Chains A and B, each alone.
Chain A
Amino acid sequence: MEIFKIVGIGIIATILTIVLKNQRPEISLQISIVTGVIIFILVVTKLTSVLETLNILARKVDMDLVYITTILKIVGIAYVSEFGAQVCRDAGEGAIASKIEFAGKILIMVLAVPILIALLNLIVELMP
Chain B
Amino acid sequence: MINFLRSWILNIVSVVIFITIVELILPNSSMKKYIKMIVGLLVMLVIINPILDLMHGKVKLEEDIFRTSSAIHKQELVLNLNHFKGTQQKQIISVYKGNIEKYIKDQIEFNNKIRVLSIDSSIEENVESKEFGNIKELAIVLSNSENNLSKKGIQPVSNVVININENRENDNIEKNENILKAIKEHISKYYSLDKDKININIQKTEK
Give the B-binding residues of A (Cβ under 8 A): 47, 50, 54, 57-58, 61-68, 70-72, 74-75, 78-79, 81-82, 85, 101, 104-105, 108-119, 121-123, 125-126
Residues A114 and B34 in contact, CB atoms below 8 Å apart: no
Q: Does B62 reach chain A (CB closer than 8 Å)? A: yes
Q: Which of A58, A72, A78 has the most B CB atoms < 10 Å from its CB?
A: A78
Residues B26 and A64 in contact, CB atoms below 8 Å apart: no
Using A114-B65, A115-B41 as known contacts, say yes or no to A125 and B59 having CB atoms under 8 A apart.
Answer: yes
Residues B18 and A63 in contact, CB atoms below 8 Å apart: yes
Report the count of interface residues on B (CB-CB < 8 A). 40
Q: From residue A99, how far is it (CB to closest CB) to chain B in Å?
A: 13
For the residues of A in contact with B, the DSSP-based class is helix
Using A61-B11, A82-B29 as known contacts, say yes or no to A119 and B72 having CB atoms under 8 A apart.
Answer: no
Give the A-binding residues of B (Cβ under 8 A): 7, 10-11, 14-15, 18-19, 21-22, 25-27, 29-31, 34-35, 37-39, 41-42, 44-46, 48-49, 51-52, 55-56, 59, 61-62, 64-66, 68-69, 72
Using A67-B45, A125-B56 as known contacts, say yes or no to A50 and B25 having CB atoms under 8 A apart.
Answer: yes
Contact among A72, A105, A116 with B34 in the assembled complex (CB-CB below 8 Å): A105
Residues B15 and A78 in contact, CB atoms below 8 Å apart: no
Closest 5 CB pairs of A and B: A114-B68, A61-B14, A82-B27, A78-B31, A114-B69
Q: From residue A10, how far is it (CB to closest CB) to chain B in Å?
A: 17
Chain A residues whose C-beta falls within 8 Å of the C-beta of B22 in the assembled complex = 54, 71-72, 75
Chain A residues whose C-beta falls within 8 Å of the C-beta of B41 in the assembled complex = 112, 115-116, 119
Contact among A78, A115, A126 with B65 in the assembled complex (CB-CB below 8 Å): A115
- Alpha-carbon distance A58/B10, docked complex (angstroms): 11
